[in-house]
Amino acid sequence: MKKINYIMLVVLTAILASCGTTTQVPVTGRKQRLVVSDQEVMSLSNQEYQNYMKSAKLSTNATNTAMVKRCGQRLATAVETYLRNNGYANEVANYKWEFNLVQNNQVNAFCMPGGKIVVYEGILPVTQDEASLAIVLGHEIAHAVAKHSAERISNSQKQQTAVSVLGGVASAAGMGPNTSSIVSSVIGVGTKAWTSGFSRSQESEADHIGLIFAAMAGYDPQGALAFWQRMAAAGNSSNSIFSDHPSDEKRIKQIQGWIPEAMKYYKPANATTTTPTKTTKTSNSGKTLRYSTKK
């Protein structure tokens, strides 16, 4: 059995070390290994985004729609300036920014790779003003800039390869069907936990980078604390090991620690901060959900 475990370890190490390219996440400097290209991810995401927008209904509230687009563009401009000035100029061409407000009363927003961002009307009563909306949009933009979708796809492909190889190793080692099944089950549970924890780390990284981006765009990052406190009051959070998001308490504590760093980038903009107007109609009814990110 020790020999089999050693063979598994050697094979897995070889797989993970040989595939993909290593890149560095802007702002945090974290290294990531991707096995899918930007072109592949952009092609898939554009298809999904177009399909979604065919069924979505845009908000009829002109003031709120203008605020989302204005805030988003301020952030996009600041982000592109940062990328150009910090060795990521070749990344700018990947982004075709689009910011849409849609009729949906869920407390939510999501980002597709390439800068396609959708905000649900239901989150505006929680953001309450443009500065807090910038925290949401900064978080979403951070997912795109950090290539979190590509990273999750790469991670998934590595797991599938690992399970396939381990099955072959188990068979070659003379294990019976029951033993091979047990090996696959153990690997499956392990990768599920790894993926979940990995997703939580992505969410924390998006909080961190997004806070910096909001500050770069001239929005006071100190407002993030009150916003996330309101988010915590808007719904229930799960502390399960398989939860995709940090607990509210951990999230707020982390943001407190990042604010001094974000303040170094903060220069108040001349533009006024807008408070969203009340929306009287949404097309999709349903239970208000805790803010999360769709990928």
Contact (Cβ atoms closer than 8 angstroms) between residue 159 and residue 191: yes
Say whether 140 is catalytic. Answer: yes
Active-site residue among 121, 140, 203, 205? 140
Residues contacting 157, CB < 8 A, separation 6+: 35, 36
Residues forming the active site: 140
